[in-house]
């Protein structure tokens, strides 16, 4: 069992983020549980890479002196699995918002889906979703979006190392992607739909790897709490 000193000197905790939790909620929960367990007032806890509330999977959490390594971990290659829904788009590019447009999928085949993935491998340009936590002029983009305000967003270069279609059951398409820091899988879903002369949004997302850290080695929040000393 880890001690108070272990946490202060620095630990890397692998947590499997549950659906609908924000990454900050996970950090706050773990910080609170560690403080309660050791009766301490303060301890540094941070995460190495945000996951959207509607995504699950690997969060790398650092404590104490290991929080200095967060930038290093954030820069590492990430792997995701998930599902696109073809033929419908949403303003947030996922299920956070309602479907705003529907499109025909009659012309789409398994072959055209496989062929389209080639457009998204390598260095690509993408626009971050309007519904994201990125900041512009001191406000998060989702604050502008929810207020119905338009805002200019610049595209960014990201790298997709692998893009594999693992199952096709239209309108659903399952995938696995290995990509660089800063890649928005929601944006990729949106752009993928457009490339198919249709529309698409992300219905499910799971982060399975960050660098050498794997979700299979991660604890649920409940299991992590069980590792802490209790009264």
pLDDT at 123: 98
Contact 113, 92 (CB under 8 A): no
Question: Does residue 148 register a pLDDT over 90?
Answer: no
Quote the CATH superfamily of domain 78-210. Pseudouridine synthase (3.30.2350.10)
Indicate the burial class of 180 (C-beta count within 10 angstroms; 0-12, 13-18, 19 or more): middle
Count of C-beta atoms within a 10 Å radius of residue 106: 9
pLDDT at 139: 78
Strands 200-210 and 55-63: parallel
Q: Which fold has domain 4-75+213-226?
A: Pseudouridine synthase (3.30.2350)
How confident is the model over 28-75, as pLDDT tens digits?
A: 999 999 999 999 999 999 999 999 999 999 999 999 999 999 999 999
* DSSP three-state, residue 62: strand
Q: Which of 66, 43, 94 is nearest to 213 (CA)?
A: 66
Q: Where are the domains of the chain?
A: 4-75+213-226, 78-210
How confident is the model over 80-118, as pLDDT tens digits?
A: 999 999 999 999 999 999 999 999 999 999 999 999 999
Q: Point out the catalytic residue in the list 16, 52, 94, 191.
A: 52
How confident is the model over 188-202, as pLDDT tens digits?
A: 999 999 999 999 999
52 annotated active-site? yes
Q: How many residues does the chain have?
A: 231
Question: Once rounded to an integer, what is the mean pLDDT over residues 150-165?
Answer: 92
* DSSP three-state, residue 140: strand
The yes-or-no answer to whether 4-75+213-226 and 78-210 have a common fold is yes
For residue 102, give both structure tokens. Answer: 């529907």
Contact 206, 82 (CB under 8 A): yes
Q: What percentage of the chain carries pLDDT values higher than 90? A: 87
Please work out, in degrees rounded to the nearest 5, the angle formed at the alpha carbon of residue 133 by the alpha carbons of 65 and 71.
25
pLDDT at 225: 97
């Amino acid at each position: 069992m880890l001690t108070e000193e272990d946490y202060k000197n620095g630990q890397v905790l692998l947590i499997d983020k549950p659906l609908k939790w924000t990454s900050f909620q996970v950090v706050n929960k773990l910080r609170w549980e560690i403080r309660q367990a050791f009766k301490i007032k303060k301890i540094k806890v941070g995460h190495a890479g945000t996951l959207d509330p509607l995504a699950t999977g690997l969060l790398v959490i650092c404590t104490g002196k290991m929080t200095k390594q967060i930038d290093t971990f954030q820069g590492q290659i990430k792997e995701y699995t998930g599902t696109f829904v073809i033929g419908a788009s949403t303003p947030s590019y996922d299920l956070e918002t309602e479907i705003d447009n529907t499109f025909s999928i009659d012309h789409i085949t398994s072959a055209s889906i496989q062929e389209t993935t080639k457009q998204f491998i390598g260095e690509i340009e993408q626009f971050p979703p309007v519904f994201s936590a990125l900041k512009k002029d001191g406000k998060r983009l989702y604050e502008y979006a929810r207020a119905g305000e338009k805002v200019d967003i610049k595209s960014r270069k990201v790298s997709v190392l692998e893009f594999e279609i693992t199952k096709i059951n239209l309108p659903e398409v399952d995938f696995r992607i290995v990509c660089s820091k800063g890649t928005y899988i929601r944006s990729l879903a949106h752009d993928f739909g457009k490339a198919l002369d249709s529309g698409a949004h992300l219905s499910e997302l799971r982060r399975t790897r960050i660098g050498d850290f794997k979700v299979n080695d991660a604890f649920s929040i409940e299991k992590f709490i069980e590792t802490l000393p209790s009264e």
